[in-house]
Every structure is written in C-alpha cells, then in structure tokens.
Amino acid sequence: MSKVIKAFSLDRRTVDILEDYCKQSDNWDKTISRSKVVNDAIVWFLSGDVAELVHSNEQLLDNFQRVLKDRDAPAAPAKSWWRQILGF
C-alpha cells in the first residue's frame, strides 16, 4: 500500500477526541499511529457502513417504541365470567 502525505486541518475538538481516545483506551495498541486511526475512521465512514448503522439504529428505535407502547397500553377490559360463558 502506497502512502500519500497530505495535510488536513482538524479542529481543536477533534484533536482532543483523538488524543483522549489514544490515551484512555484500554485496548489501544501503542504501535498504531494516530494517522492510522484517522485513516481507518475516514474509510469506515465513507465506505457506506454508516448508512447501514443508521438504518439499524432507526429499526431499533422503532422496535423499542413499539414495545414501550405495547407495554404501556391499557389491557382490554376482561369480560365478566357470565359473558364469557354465554359468548357475549
């Protein structure tokens, strides 16, 4: 794989996030450079995986809301015993 060195500017917040990730991550492999982390993040984001995650997240939220509505919906009033016997 050939490497191309280009300069891009990152805002301060992004740099802070990157530094915090590299310093605080328990599973951070010290041999991986910050450039590789940024490169992998850009490839992941632009490869289309994000659209799949967004769709999955929307489905999850829809299912969660449906379950909450079903759980909180008032139960149908139970028929009295004599109505059940007579079939009303």
> What is the structure's pLDDT at 29?
67
pTM of the model: 0.47
71 has pLDDT over 70: yes
pLDDT of residue 28: 61
Average pLDDT over every residue of 61-85 = 83
30-36-37-40 Cα dihedral, nearest 10 degrees: -140
58-73 average pLDDT score:
89
For the segment 6-60, what is each residue's pLDDT rounded down to a tens digit?
888 889 999 998 888 877 766 666 667 788 888 888 888 788 777 788 888 999 9
Q: Where are the domains of the chain?
A: 12-73
Q: What is the DSSP letter of 64?
A: H
Q: How far apart are CA 87 and CA 1, in angstroms?
A: 76
